[in-house]
């Protein structure tokens, strides 16, 4: 890094230098410190795209608290520092930061010199209520901020960052602007984001001025996050680099999971799985609500209720033989009735939360008086894991952590780490998740953990968390709220946000709505976690009039396993959410898509437009950039930037793929993912004139360290339609232990108007044509004239191959 000292001063230590002159700067250890007319401004490059801004009202830096959000090691590689009489300029190949030496104002520019963001009054660390303010942009839209269900555009909102439960909510409910997971981060569709490095209770006002207010006693700072490209995708990728990536998921979590409030016995649990299997429904997981340890007032007991669960270890062994994984619930509260033994033990060991006077602060939960575990004490964390570990050893596949906002968290609590409830509240879920995740990784090193947690803040994704959107109402309004929730949360680093499919909170006068159930599952098949959950009748066999449709939905979920697992790889390595807004890549008039909250992209190349209105059998669809093809009827094509009314009978989800896409499918019928055989793969190709490519990910689907160990394979498919010819290329890199020697690959080229004259392979040899698909044994092709689809089958041994279709 080049170092410039302003005003001709000699290089001194920062305090000495800044005491020497009224307006000066210094760069030490990667941080540039500028003494301005309003105090000290410090700019620390984290990467060439990410910069941390801290301030002090005097010439002396304020003591900095280690960030709880950021995990990346700062690097000043490629950073250049220069000065003018009025500015200190810190620049990288992609970003320029300018500090006004008089006002202390910090401005951020892209690689072309275009202004992205400018402080208004900057960071005020001198007042009791600390603030950060920016000048709002007129031509941009903000999203993110965690779990927000009211809109996909947050401009004009006042957002409270303080996690809270929202029972029985739906679209139009004012409560859903503040939900279970609040993240002090906003992403602009101009291609940058702001992470306020603060987990205290706070307020974010997105008006003409962007104003962040916090009561934190600690100094405020923030991260400016730029993108290599001016879109949400680049910003999201860099945000994940800063706050951490979610590990690869357990493969079984991509299958169907059944859950209920609640299964009350071992016999009922096994019976539910038996019924699902008898009726042909694939299933990979079952989740136990609170009845595994007794009744509601036994919350915190953390022991099987032997009367109803006589042999839990044997039960889990039986489930595993059926390919089914089990996860039970636990909470941060210990009821003074049913869990009195644990309460007394925690009291004796001084592990319960206390008030500011040092007295135990009990809480009133929805099931009665309880104590709350103070997880800021290392001994509290050890106590919790000492109780979860032996239960996990019996055969559990992970843990459900409920009420983790925390749902009840009195303001007069003073945690053992010195933080009040307001200070620690949002981070409680992160710390709880960390304790369980690190325990699982340490004591069960071969397990990919699944943690179902509903509370936390920035960085929660690091702990393999699969959040859900809380206790949504079983209503059409409940369904309508889910897309904004998934989109905002996904842009905030949490790529696996999903919902209780079918709706949780039941209207007792109208406990079931079969049409709503079908429509919710149709959308759910293209959400990160496919899990039904409700107070009543969550399982699909309760809807016999639609059983055939529901079965096809669940089986469709399994067909998409290779595609969905590749999305998981993109999330684990790049931080990209599985559910993406229509303006994610910023193509063309991206602003037109910012406010869309009833459609989304599943990855980059699949457009999902669920039906979310009772009785509707058609809906309007706005198509983003590109040409789009109806998945179920490829003869129907739509241009980007247009709106069309599409038919949507009850058995159809409006689903579209972008022209040029390769969509991998697993077409063998399976009952659970243990039957998945990677040797067989079908890839649908929708040719376009422009060259396109798609990279498929695969590993052994078990190892938690396959990415670190580089035990995986990437296969890239490329293709183009040039006049009357279609070209397809395949190339693989990498390998993993247990990988098949070759794949039996079926490529379905969709939209071929007439029978090809020939299909030739890499060495120009014509492949044999056949009279039917079944007639293709090892290698050959068949043209389905009715479907206008060319079907090519070949053994693929991972070498580079090309196919030419004439």
The mean pLDDT of 710-726, rounded to a whole number, is 98
- Dump pLDDT digits (tens) for 659-698: 999 999 999 999 999 999 999 999 999 999 999 999 999 9
The mean pLDDT of 64-81, rounded to a whole number, is 90
Burial class (CB in 10 A: 0-12, 13-18, 19+), 135: middle
Q: Residue 284 phi/psi, 5° resolution?
A: -125, -10
Kindly tell me if the per-residue pLDDT of 7 is higher than 60.
no
pLDDT bucket at 592, cuts 50 / 70 / 90? confident
pLDDT bucket at 77, cuts 50 / 70 / 90? confident
pLDDT bucket at 599, cuts 50 / 70 / 90? very high
69 neighbors 434 (Cβ within 8 angstroms) = no
pLDDT bucket at 590, cuts 50 / 70 / 90? low
In the chain, the N- to C-terminal Cα span, in Å, equals: 56
Kindly tell me if the per-residue pLDDT of 11 is higher than 90.
no
487 neighbors 469 (Cβ within 8 angstroms) = no
Q: What is the 3-state secondary structure (H, E, C) of 419-461?
A: CEHHHHHHHHHHHHHHHHHHHHHHHCCCCCCEEEECCECCCHH
- What DSSP state is assigned to residue 247? P
Please tell me the distance from the alpha carbon of residue 772 to that of residue 717, in angstroms, as a whole number: 25
Residue 789: count of CB within 10 angstroms of its CB: 17
Domains and CATH numbers, the chain: 6-243 (2.60.40.1760), 251-330+375-566 (3.20.20.80), 580-658 (2.60.40.1180), 677-805 (2.60.40.1180)
**Cis peptide leading into 406, omega within 30 of 0?**
yes
- Which of 626, 462, 575, 567 lies closest to 233 in space, CA to CA? 575
Kindly give the pairing relationship between strand 50-56 and strand 221-226. antiparallel
- Whole-number percent of the chain with pLDDT over 70: 96
Q: Which residue has the tokens 């879109």?
A: 231
- Which of 510, 513, 521 lies closest to 548 in space, CA to CA? 521
CA angle 712/718/724 to nearest 5° reads 155
210 neighbors 140 (Cβ within 8 angstroms) = no
Helix (H) or strand (E) holding 509: none
- Which of 149, 146, 189, 192 lies closest to 168 in space, CA to CA? 149
- Dump pLDDT digits (tens) for 381-434: 999 999 999 999 999 999 999 999 999 999 999 999 999 999 999 999 999 999
Give the pLDDT score at 591.
62
619 forms bridges with which residues in the sheet? 646
- Centroid of chain to Cα 514: 29
pTM for the whole structure: 0.96
Give the pLDDT score at 586.
87
Kindly tell me if the per-residue pLDDT of 14 is higher than 70.
no
Residues in the chain: 806
228 neighbors 94 (Cβ within 8 angstroms) = yes
794 forms bridges with which residues in the sheet? 745
Kindly tell me if the per-residue pLDDT of 294 is higher than 50.
yes
Q: Which residue has the tokens 């669809």?
A: 621
pLDDT bucket at 64, cuts 50 / 70 / 90? confident
Burial class (CB in 10 A: 0-12, 13-18, 19+), 474: buried
Please tell me the distance from the alpha carbon of residue 234 to that of residue 54, in angstroms, as a whole number: 24
DSSP secondary structure, 55-111, as one string: EESSSSPPPPPPPSS--SPP--TT-EEEE-SSEEEEE-SS-EEEEETTT--EEEE-T
Please tell me the distance from the alpha carbon of residue 99 to that of residue 34, in angstroms, as a whole number: 8
Give the pLDDT score at 136.
78
Q: Which is higher by pLDDT, 773 or 99?
A: 99
- Dump pLDDT digits (tens) for 600-615: 999 999 999 999 999 9
pLDDT bucket at 81, cuts 50 / 70 / 90? very high
516 forms bridges with which residues in the sheet? none
Kindly give the pairing relationship between strand 368-372 and strand 285-288. unpaired
DSSP secondary structure, 577-636, as one string: -SEE-TTSS--SSGGGGTT--S-EEESSSEEE----STT-SEEEEE--SSEEEESS-TT-
Q: Any residues with CB less than 8 A from the CB of 225 and at least 6 apart, and which?
A: 49, 50, 192, 193, 194, 195, 235, 238, 239, 242
- Which of 598, 595, 618, 594 lies closest to 607 in space, CA to CA? 598
Kindly tell me if the per-residue pLDDT of 16 is higher than 50.
no
Residue 714 tokens read as 């990437």
Q: Any residues with CB less than 8 A from the CB of 97 and at least 6 apart, and which?
A: 43, 51, 89, 90, 91, 106, 107, 108, 109, 224
């Amino acid at each position: 890094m080049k170092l410039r000292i302003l005003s001709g001063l000699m290089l001194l230590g920062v305090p000495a230098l800044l005491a020497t002159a009224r307006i000066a700067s210094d760069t030490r250890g990667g941080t540039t410190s500028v003494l301005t007319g309003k105090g000290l401004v410090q700019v620390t490059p984290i990467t060439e795209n990410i910069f941390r801004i801290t301030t002090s009202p005097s010439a002396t830096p304020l003591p900095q608290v280690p960030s709880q959000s950021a995990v990346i090691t700062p690097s000043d590689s490629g950073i250049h520092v220069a000065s003018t009489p009025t500015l200190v300029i810190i620049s990288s190949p992609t970003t320029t930061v300018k500090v006004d030496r008089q006002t202390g104002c910090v401005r951020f520019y892209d690689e072309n010199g275009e202004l992205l963001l400018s402080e208004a009054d900057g960071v005020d660390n001198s007042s009791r209520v600390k603030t950060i303010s920016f000048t709002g942009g007129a031509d941009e839209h903000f999203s993110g901020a965690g779990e927000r269900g009211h809109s996909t555009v947050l401009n004009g909102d006042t957002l409270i960052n303080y996690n809270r439960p929202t029972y029985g909510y739906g679209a139009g409910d004012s409560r859903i602007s503040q939900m279970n997971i609040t993240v002090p981060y906003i992403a602009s569709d101009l291609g940058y984001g702001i992470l306020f490095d603060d987990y205290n209770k706070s307020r974010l006002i997105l008006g003409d001025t962007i104003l962040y207010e916090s009561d934190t006693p600690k100094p405020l700072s923030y991260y400016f996050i730029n993108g290599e490209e001016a879109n949400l995708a680049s910003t999201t990728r860099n945000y994940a680099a800063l706050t951490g990536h979610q590990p690869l998921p357990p493969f079984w979590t991509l299958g169907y999971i059944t859950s209920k409030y609640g299964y009350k016995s071992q016999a009922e649990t096994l019976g539910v799985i038996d019924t699902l299997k008898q009726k042909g429904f694939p299933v990979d997981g079952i989740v136990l609500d609170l009845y595994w340890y007794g009744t509601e007032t036994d919350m915190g007991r953390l022991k099987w209720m032997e009367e109803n669960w006589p042999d839990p270890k044997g039960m889990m062994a039986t489930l595993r033989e059926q390919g089914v994984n089990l996860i039970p619930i636990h909470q941060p509260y210990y009821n003074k009735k049913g869990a009195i033994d644990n309460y007394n033990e925690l009291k004796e060991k001084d592990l319960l939360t206390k008030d500011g006077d040092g007295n135990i602060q009990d809480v009133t939960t929805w099931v009665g008086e309880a104590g709350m575990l103070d997880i800021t004490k290392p001994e509290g964390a050890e106590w919790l894991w000492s109780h979860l570990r032996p239960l996990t050893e019996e055969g559990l596949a992970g843990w459900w952590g409920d009420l983790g906002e925390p749902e009840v968290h009195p303001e007069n609590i003073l945690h053992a780490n010195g933080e009040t409830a307001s200070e620690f509240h949002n981070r409680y879920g992160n710390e709880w998740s960390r304790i369980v995740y690190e325990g699982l990784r340490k004591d069960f090193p071969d397990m990919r953990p699944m943690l179902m947690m509903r509370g936390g803040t920035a960085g929660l994704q690091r702990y393999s968390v699969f959040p859900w959107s809380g206790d949504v109402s079983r209503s059409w309004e409940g369904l309508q709220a889910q897309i904004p929730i998934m989109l905002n949360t996904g842009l905030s680093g949490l790529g696996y946000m999903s919902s209780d499919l079918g709706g949780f909170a039941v209207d007792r006068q109208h406990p079931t709505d079969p049409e709503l159930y079908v429509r919710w599952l149709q959308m759910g098949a293209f959400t990160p976690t496919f899990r039904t959950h409700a107070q009543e009748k969550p399982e699909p066999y309760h809807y016999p009039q639609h059983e055939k449709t529901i079965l096809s939905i669940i089986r469709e979920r399994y067909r998409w396993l290779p595609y969905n697992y590749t999305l998981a790889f993109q999330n684990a390595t790049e931080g990209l959410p599985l559910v993406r807004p229509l303006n994610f890549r910023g193509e063309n008039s991206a602003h037109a898509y910012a406010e869309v909250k009833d459609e989304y992209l599943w990855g980059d190349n699949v457009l999902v437009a669920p039906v979310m209105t009772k009785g509707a059998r058609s809906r309007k669809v706005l198509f983003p950039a590109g040409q789009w093809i109806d998945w179920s009827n490829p003869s129907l094509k739509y241009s980007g930037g247009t709106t069309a009314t599409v038919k949507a009978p009850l058995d159809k989800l409006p689903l579209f793929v972008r022209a040029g896409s390769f969509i991998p499918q697993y077409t063998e019928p399976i009952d659970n993912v243990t039957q998945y055989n990677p040797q067989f793969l079908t890839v649908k190709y929708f040719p376009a004139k422009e060259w396109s490519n798609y990279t498929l990910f695969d590993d052994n689907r078990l190892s938690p360290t396959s990415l670190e160990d580089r035990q995986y394979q990437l296969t890239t498919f490329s293709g183009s339609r040039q006049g009357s010819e279609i070209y397809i290329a395949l190339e693989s890199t990498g390998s993993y232990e247990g990988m098949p020697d070759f794949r039996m690959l079926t490529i379905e080229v969709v939209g071929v108007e007439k029978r090809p004259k020939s299909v030739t392979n890499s060495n120009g040899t014509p492949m044999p044509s056949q009279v039917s698909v079944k007639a293709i044994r090892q290698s050959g092709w068949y043209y389905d004239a009715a479907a206008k689809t060319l079907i090519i089958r070949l053994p693929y041994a991972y070498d580079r191959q090309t196919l030419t279709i004439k």
